[in-house]
Amino acid sequence: MKKLIFILLSFGLMFSQQESSKRTLTIYKDNFAVIKEPIIWNLKSGSNTASFSNISKNLLFDSPVLNIEDVQILSQTLNKNFSSTDSFLKSSIGSPVEIIPTGGGRTEGLLMDINSSSISVKTSKGLIVFQRSQLLSITLKSNSIHDKFAPEIVWELASDEDKSVNAELTYITSGFTWKPIYNLIINGDDSKATLSVNAEISNNTNINLFAINISVVEGNVPLQAKSKSVSYQMIESRSAMDNRSALGDFYIFDIGLNMKLDSMQSVQLPLMEQREITYDKKYVFQNSERDQGDEPLSVEVSFENSASNNLELPLPSGVLFLYEKDDLNSMRFIGRNSLTQLYKGGVAILDGGKAFDIIGKRRILNFDRQKNSEESTISLQILNTSDKSIKVKAVENIFGDWVIKESSSMYIKEDASTIFFPLEIEPGQSELLTYTYKKEWK
């Protein structure tokens, strides 16, 4: 009787082909990647049949290309007749199986059910449910195991002599993703901050990759490929690298050499070296014409992507986690932001939540609406109950055809519907300002 054994522990796949150290994985931001697999074959003179099967099930079927010198490629055949291990086991429900847990021991019975988390086996003692994460192997005892569990490419090759040849297989596959993870740690006592950027790489395919050089590409490339759901599991972090180069209208970052990336795992690697930068922190009080009330101010943290700020780098869009050091030099989490692609010279503006001890009060002191005009007087009061000096940006949105008739403080017109008052307020102090706007229409 034939036996099919499914090993559940992670292990390095062994191939009949010998492999060199130049395996590469280049991941784009559209849920696809380009894999280059080096292969060494020993060919005889004349016709040869060669194959390769450590291929992602998510490959773009018309993408595989074999690069081989001084050998004629007579044909390339891709086997698409494969199924997943789970689908094969589900089709074998009722068959005898042998289960070996990671802690040792054996259990024999009939396979009754299988899903992503557990396997049910009917034994002489009753129904036993095993958690898949706690299993070493499942042995399926069957006389008809013919299905393949991965694609396979077979080539007919013609060689003019007996020789060893180096080949390179290149193909495109979905199931690989990457995203930048930013950590910005600001110092509440001054304007210094630490910016670190990691690339989170996810392998959501069926293949285990080892001795692989990993690159990621910033920029979107159109490709007709089905999206796969992403599952993240952090496994390791490596030392910083800062290798990047231009790739047409894109940037490519070389982030890992001789790496290991198993199926259904993720890894974070430094995308660039940690940087010491300066930042600006403001408290924002934003209102529109008819708003009234008291509320805590919003915290706005910004930094410039410039050479003078130790940056001027192509910063990819990603997720940014914002932390602030307290008086004991311990980090406090103060916000999670989506950072859009930041060009050189651009400014990143981040939401740092609400300030507990910075309060804004807005009142409409006068409102006069006539048939063809409208006039309103507004008061803004900012209370700084903290023990630090602060910078405040009091933003007022006014719509229509308006002018400011008078103002107790200097203001800046930002656009056709926005003015703001830049203020600096000492600890325990408050600032009160008033202004009057007028609208006219026909």
pLDDT, tens digit, 9 for 90 and up, residues 245-280: 555 567 888 998 999 999 889 999 999 889 999 999
Q: What is the CA radius of gyration of the chain?
A: 31
CA distance 433 to 324: 31
Residue 186 burial (CB count, 10 A):
25
pLDDT of residue 69: 93
Sheet holding 135-141, edge to edge: 3-7, 135-141, 96-101, 107-114, 118-123, 126-131
How many residues does this entry show for the chain? 442
Band of pLDDT at residue 11, cut at 50, 70 and 90: very low
SS3 375: strand
What is the amino acid identity at position 117? S
SS3 (DSSP) at 302: strand
Q: Which amino acid is at 153?
A: I
> pLDDT tens digits, residue range 76-127?
998 876 666 777 777 788 889 899 988 878 899 999 998 878 899 999 989 9
What value does the mean pLDDT take over residues 63-76? 94
Alpha helix stretches (DSSP H) within 101-237: none
Residues in CB range of 179: below 8 A, 6 or more apart: 29, 199, 200, 318, 319
Q: Which tens digits make up the pLDDT trace of 145-168?
A: 655 666 889 999 999 999 999 999
**How many other C-beta atoms lie within 10 A of the C-beta of residue 430?**
13
Comma-separated ranges of CATH 2.30.30.100 domains in the chain: 85-141
Residues carrying CATH 2.60.40, the chain: 281-299+354-440
Edge to edge, the sheet with strand 318-325 lists: 234-237, 265-278, 192-203, 176-187, 318-325, 331-339
Q: Per-residue confidence at 432, pLDDT binned at 50, 70, 90?
A: very high
Q: What does the block give as tokens for 161?
A: 């002599």
Angle at 117 between CA 114 and CA 122, to 5 degrees: 40
Single out the residue of 86, 83, 107 nearest to residue 97, CA to CA: 107
- Choose among 407, 438, 400, 405: nearest CA to 421: 407
Specify the amino acid at residue 352: G
- Domain 281-299+354-440, what fold? Immunoglobulin-like (2.60.40)
The Cα–Cα gap between 236 and 370 comes to: 68
Question: Whole-number mean pLDDT of the chain?
Answer: 85
Q: Is the pLDDT of residue 192 over 90?
A: yes
The dihedrals phi and psi of 281, each to the nearest 5 degrees, come to: -120, 125
Q: What is the pTM of this model?
A: 0.72
CATH 3.40.640.10 fits 85-141, yes or no: no
DSSP, collapsed to helix, strand or coil, labels residue 139 as strand
Extract the tokens encoding 36: 């280059």
Q: In the structure encoding, which two tokens stand for residue 193, read together?
A: 């901050």
Q: Nearest CA to 281 among 189, 362, 418, 344?
A: 189
Which residues fall within 8 angstroms of residue 92, CB to CB, at 6 or more apart? 111, 140, 142
Three-state DSSP state, 309: helix
DSSP state letters, 41-108:
EEEPSEEEEEEE----TTB-TT--EEEESS-EEEEEEEE--B--HHHHHHHTTTSEEEEEETTS--EE
**Which pLDDT band holds residue 241 (cuts at 50, 70, 90)?**
very low
